[in-house]
Chain A
Amino acid sequence: MQGSKYSHFSAIDFLKDEGFLTWQMFGEDSDGAYRQTVVADSPAIEPALREAVALYKRYVKLNDYRLPPYEIMERLVLLQGQIRAEKARRRRRRVALWVSGAAAAVAGLIVSATLLLPPAPDDNPPAAEAPVAHEASFPESSEVTLIVDRSAMVLSNNAQVSYMASGAIAVRTEDAGVAGALIREPIVETKQNKLIVPKGRRSSIILADNTHVWLNSGTTLIFPASFEQRREIYVDGEIYIEVEKDPARPFVVKSSALTIEVLGTAFNVSAYSSDIEQAVVLVEGSVAVAAGRQKMRLLPNQRFSTGGAGGNQVDNVDVTDYTCWRHGWIQTNTTSLEELATRLSRYYDREIVCDARVAHLKCFGKLVLFDDPDKVLHTISKNMNIEYRYKNTKTIILYPKK
Chain B
Amino acid sequence: MLKFTPEQETLFRKFKEGDDDAFSFFYQLFINDLYAYGRGLCAESEWVKDCVQDVFLKVYFMEKEYESLAHFKYFLLKSIKNKLYDLYKSKSFSATTPLVGTGLDFMLSATVLDEMIGADDKQIIKQKIDALLSKLTARQREVIYLRFIEEMDYAQIAELLGMNVTSARKLVSRSLKRLKDDQLPLFIYLFLLYSVD
Contacts and interface: CB of A to CB of B under 8 A. Distances in A.
Mutual binders A and B: yes
Given A3-B197, A5-B194, A76-B24, A66 B132 contact: no
Contact of B195 (A3, A16, A63, A75): A3
Contact of B124 (A16, A67, A75, A79): A16
B194 A4 contact: yes
Interface residues of A, number: 37
A237 to B, nearest CB: 37
B35 A65 contact: yes
B149 interface: yes
Interface string A247-271: 0000000000000000000000000
Contacts of B128: 16-18, 21
Interface residues of B, number: 53
B138 interface: no
Contact of B172 (A4, A29, A66, A75): A29
Interface string A366-395: 000000000000000000000000000000
A70 interface: no
A75 B53 contact: yes
B57 A83 contact: yes
A83 B176 CA distance: 44
Interface stretch (B5-13, B69-77, B103-111, B158-166): B103-111
Interface in A1-43: 2-5, 12, 15-19, 21-22, 25-27, 29-30
Name B's interface SS.
Answer: helix
Interface in A50-85: 55, 58-67, 72, 75-76, 78-80, 82-83
Nearest to B150: A63
A18 B110 CA distance: 14
Nearest to A13: B121
B121 A27 contact: no
A63 B146 CA distance: 11
A86 interface: yes
A67 B132 contact: no
A63 B124 contact: no
Nearest to B195: A3
A261 to B, nearest CB: 29
Contacts of B32: 65-67, 72
Nearest to B127: A16
Contacts of B39: 63, 65
B57 A18 contact: no
Contacts of A86: 57, 61
A399 to B, nearest CB: 52
B121 A16 contact: yes
B125 A25 contact: no
B69 to A, nearest CB: 19
Contacts of A19: 180, 183, 187
Contact of A21 (B45, B53, B129, B194): B129
Interface string B78-98: 000000000000000000000
A76 B112 contact: no
B57 A82 contact: yes
B190 to A, nearest CB: 6
Contact of B183 (A18, A62, A65, A78): A18
A84 to B, nearest CB: 10
A4 B193 CA distance: 11
A22 B108 contact: no
B132 A2 contact: no
Interface string B183-197: 100110011001101
Given A2-B194, A2-B197, A67-B35, 6 more contacts: A12-B121, A21-B129, A22-B180, A29-B147, A55-B114, A67-B31
Interface of A: 2-5, 12, 15-19, 21-22, 25-27, 29-30, 55, 58-67, 72, 75-76, 78-80, 82-83, 86
26 contacts: A3-B197, A15-B117, A18-B183, A18-B186, A19-B187, A21-B125, A21-B128, A21-B129, A22-B176, A22-B183, A29-B176, A55-B117, A59-B113, A60-B125, A60-B129, A61-B113, A62-B129, A62-B133, A63-B145, A64-B36, A67-B32, A75-B53, A76-B27, A78-B53, A82-B53, A83-B60
